[in-house]
Structure 1
Amino acid sequence: MNLMTATALVMGNIIGGGIFLLPASVAPFGTVSLAAFGLLTIGAIALALVFGRLAERHPDTGGPYVYAREAFGDFAGFLSAWSYWTMTWVSNAALAVAAVGYVHVLVPGHASPGVNLAVALGALWLPALANFAGTRYVGAVQLVSTVLKFVPLLFIAVVGLFFFDPGKLGPFNAGGGSAVGGMSAAAAILLYSYVGVESAAMSAGEVRDPERNVGRATVLGTIGAAVVYLLGTLAVFGTVAHDELVNSTAPFSDAVNAMFGGQWGGTVVAGAAVVSIIGALNGWTLMSAQSPYAAAKDGLFPAAFLTKRRGVPTFGVLAAAVLASALTVVNYLIGVGGVFEILVLITTFSATVPYLLAAGAQLYFLLTGRRDKVRPARFARDLTLALTAFGFTFWLVAGAGYAAIYQGVLFLFAGILVYAWMAARKAGRGGRDTAPEPTAAVAAASTGSTTSAGSTASAASTAPAVAADVT
């Protein structure tokens, strides 16, 4: 993947289906939510810069897993990979379910559970087929889908400024109480909008010139998503009356109708939403295979996850697609009350674990004087970025809520059984890794080299909205 494709991967994974409901979700808090969005954007860009710094030294597939294991050992690396992997396939199921409603807007008709299930499964397996074809096809789909969803959203955002009416904004702090309280409440909803900033780092082994392009793609993709988020939300706030926006189920559709008249806005936005979700599923399907692949190379995940073809860990893609499909079937056919909701809560917490460990790894490398592990640059600047990224991620954890943290921690600790099994097998082999050859980072360490090396590393990964970006 070149710089443009890697940037599209980041932007496409950040922007999923949630953006189409986001303005209505935060409207009850008033325009203070725009200030909250601005602060979150600063935190997200800091996290993106941290991933870029780390990727310069470790341009290997697996991103946060690689950094956590290098800094804190096998157990921390496993927790990062386990959390990310479970988050991706559960949130993929959530995205597929979200796509069903938009498809019915485009193709009206009787919606039965069987039809809904078929649409959701199609949304899961079409991106999986693109992944089986190889990273070239993944990148092509991601680039096209990102353009197709970015252009209409940016068009609405920019044109909306010409129809902007300050009188429709409503009060600054509509929720009452202190402005800080309103900002925090809005931030709790907005926090997961930027999950996906790590996408280029996760697939660093498949990015051309990763030492340079991973960091650039991460920052450019995050900024591109921020432009769409901020301008789009502002445009909707200024074109749809506040009282209407609070009760809106399709805020972007209402904005299009307010700007141009008629009732055709819903169809246009539904089309953009379907493209957006399919593009996000395409990227997240690749992410779901990257972390377990990297962990399997180190003997921390089953060796089957090492199966790779045309740059894509195919077994990881297959496993994630099957698990997401099973969860979707449960949602539509079995109807076990609360199961789907509980798993979505798990993803909300699980997305933050790799981020915290990666930011912590950056701090560890800096504070132990091992700046070569990040970049031999300005210490104060890198330390400030790492602390900002850690604080941003800690805010994510706080915003997840008690239920998400409770369910997420239980599932995280369940992974200890898997780690015990894999660690025991690894110890039985005398601690040898399962990879056929050492990673570039290990090779560099064994020779005492401090230069970036990673062209031989490959791809692996497993973040949010409902959690992975139904946000």
Structure 2
Amino acid sequence: MEKSTKLGFWSIVLMGINIIIGSGIFLIPGSGVKLFGPASILVLIFDALLIFMIGLCFAECASHFNENGGAYVYTRKAFGNFWGYEVGIATWATRIVAEATIYAGLITALSGVFPQLQQPGPKYTLITFIGLALITINVMGIRISKVVNNLLTVSKLLPLLLLVVVGLFFLKPTNFQPFFPPELAHMSNFSTAAVTLFYVFVGFEGLVVVAGEMKNTKRNLPLALLVVLIAVTTIYVLIFTVSIGVLGPELSKTPVPLQAVFAAIAGPTGKWIIVLGSILSMGAIVVGSSFVTPRAGVALANHQMMPNFIKKTNRRDAPYIAIIISTCLVMLISYSGTFVVLAQIASVARFVQYIPTCLAVIRFRKTIDDDPNAFKVPFGIIIPIIATLVSVWLLINAKHDQLLLAIGFLVIAAPFYFLTKVSKQAKLD
């Protein structure tokens, strides 16, 4: 791929912001207040610190590699082919299911304006149209994908920034009192809130999956990851602060908190601004996701853990086979409606990428020659250890059925690794 067509630093930053800020922030603030009151802002910051530590680990690992794959590449290098395969297949499956969930969210948002989309026929037609449009955009190459992603990311941020700027003038200090409601200020509530709010940050790991599509990866990707996480955390804290300051306890009583906040500030006009913002947000994130998801499959094919044809590219250097396969699977899951159950696996399966990457940092400190140009997580291995332990704690506090489904998926996937290995060895013989 020519260097001029690759993602530059600010395109990487915008893509990272895009794939993190999705529908969650439009819905989560109410859940946070319901679980931990105004102090849910502190829970959000706690999650941000965890994500930041995990992000530092991803940044160090990313500085050692220029290829696509992210956590799969790091795990394979650190712990061998089998664990790399498990992480890689989980990453691809997680991204496919998460993308299908975004399709559903987009349909739901649009059905509020066009009720006929609640019927199977129109719903399936729109899903097909979205899928075909995304295939077209992505097979046309990175240049088109980059332009569409950048435009949609900026567009979806405008309503959120407008909410923050206007909302700051409508804050009521009494809405933050008591900051720690006695009936909610318990460790069990804190852990539940931490697990719930954590999911507004997931998705950043998708950025490292497309490392091979970037300019100066070893320099740009670690810095871009840190800029993205700081920017997203700042936006989230401001949104939570404004939402609580404007509505107070009433925030926990609405399923669409940001719509309710803007409606309280600007009436029906404000509500429609947020409706438009949520549609733009989900549209933008599905564009970003459709670019990242196929590369997770390509990374496996690059190491002969998937059939070689998956990594085939067209004259615009787009992996068109992986794009078509990934998008068709996304559409099938969206048609079936079973993605709600699979999304439970996807949410917990994120840690299948996070924990091995944190551990890989410790491993690489011993096995990879010191590179003066590589990014280094500060304070030695303390941050990777803390990030691993807190991630395990969050997993323990997740719903047990979600955890069992995620473990079950990894167990089911394991035999396919050995079949692939046997098939590969047979060809060599």
Residues 1:10 and 2:16 aligned together? yes
Distance apart, 1:285 and its partner CA: 1.6
Residues 1:315 and 2:291 aligned together? no
Residues 1:299 and 2:304 aligned together? yes
**Aligned mate of 1:384, from 366, 382, 385:** 382
- The CA deviation string for residues 366-389 of structure 1, in whole angstroms up to 9 with x for no partner, is 2x2645379667686241332233
User: After the TM superposition, which residues 38-437 of structure 1 pair with which residues of structure 2 at under 5 Å, given as runs?
Assistant: 38-107=45-114, 111-169=118-176, 171-174=178-181, 176=183, 178-242=185-249, 244-260=250-266, 262-309=267-314, 310-331=316-337, 339-366=338-365, 368=366, 370=368, 372=370, 381-430=379-428
Mark the CA change 1:374 to 1:13 in structure 2 (over 3 Å): closer, same or farther: farther
Distance apart, 1:201 and its partner CA: 1.5
Mark the CA change 1:75 to 1:323 in structure 2 (over 3 Å): closer, same or farther: same
Q: Which sections of structure 2, spanning at least 5 residues, go unmatched?
A: 1-6
Partner residue in 1 for 2:4: none
Identity %: 23
Mark the CA change 1:278 to 1:177 in structure 2 (over 3 Å): closer, same or farther: closer
Residue identity opposite 1:361 in structure 2: A
- Determine if contact 2:63/2:374 at 8 Å carries over to the other structure: no
Distance apart, 1:6 and its partner CA: 0.8
Distance apart, 1:396 and its partner CA: 4.2
Separation in 2, partners of 1:138, 1:400: 35
Mark the CA change 1:213 to 1:124 in structure 2 (over 3 Å): closer, same or farther: same
- The CA deviation string for residues 208-243 of structure 1, in whole angstroms up to 9 with x for no partner, is 11011111111111222212211111111111131x
Separation in 2, partners of 1:303, 1:111: 40
- Determine if contact 1:79/1:415 at 8 Å carries over to the other structure: yes
Separation in 2, partners of 1:117, 1:377: 46
Mark the CA change 1:273 to 1:299 in structure 2 (over 3 Å): closer, same or farther: same
Residue identity opposite 2:421 in structure 1: A
- TM-score w.r.t. the length of structure 1 is 0.84
Mark the CA change 1:79 to 1:127 in structure 2 (over 3 Å): closer, same or farther: same
Separation in 1, partners of 2:377, 2:9: 27
- Determine if contact 1:89/1:323 at 8 Å carries over to the other structure: yes
Separation in 2, partners of 1:142, 1:319: 21
Separation in 2, partners of 1:352, 1:27: 25
Mark the CA change 1:123 to 1:73 in structure 2 (over 3 Å): closer, same or farther: same
Separation in 2, partners of 1:314, 1:33: 43
Mark the CA change 1:328 to 1:377 in structure 2 (over 3 Å): closer, same or farther: closer
Distance apart, 1:122 and its partner CA: 3.3
Separation in 2, partners of 1:12, 1:376: 26
- Determine if contact 1:56/1:212 at 8 Å carries over to the other structure: yes
Mark the CA change 1:146 to 1:379 in structure 2 (over 3 Å): closer, same or farther: closer
Residue identity opposite 2:41 in structure 1: L
Separation in 2, partners of 1:354, 1:289: 17
Partner residue in 2 for 1:437: none
Partner residue in 2 for 1:467: none
- Determine if contact 1:200/1:217 at 8 Å carries over to the other structure: no
- Determine if contact 1:198/1:218 at 8 Å carries over to the other structure: no
Residues 1:27 and 2:26 aligned together? no
Q: Which sections of structure 1, spanning at least 5 residues, go unmatched?
A: 332-338, 432-471
- Determine if contact 2:60/2:377 at 8 Å carries over to the other structure: no
Mark the CA change 1:208 to 1:396 in structure 2 (over 3 Å): closer, same or farther: farther
User: In structure 2, the residue corresponding to 1:342 is in which secondary structure?
Assistant: helix
Residue identity opposite 1:388 in structure 2: I
Separation in 2, partners of 1:415, 1:374: 38
Mark the CA change 1:379 to 1:409 in structure 2 (over 3 Å): closer, same or farther: closer
Partner residue in 1 for 2:3: none
User: In structure 2, the residue corresponding to 1:263 is in which secondary structure?
Assistant: helix
Distance apart, 1:48 and its partner CA: 1.5
Separation in 2, partners of 1:176, 1:327: 41
Instruction: Figure out how many residues of one structure are paired with residues of the other and give that number.
Output: 421
- Determine if contact 2:222/2:375 at 8 Å carries over to the other structure: no
Separation in 1, partners of 2:60, 2:232: 20
Mark the CA change 1:167 to 1:100 in structure 2 (over 3 Å): closer, same or farther: same
- Determine if contact 1:307/1:313 at 8 Å carries over to the other structure: yes
User: In structure 1, the residue corresponding to 2:304 is in which secondary structure?
Assistant: coil
Residue identity opposite 1:420 in structure 2: F
Separation in 1, partners of 2:19, 2:84: 23
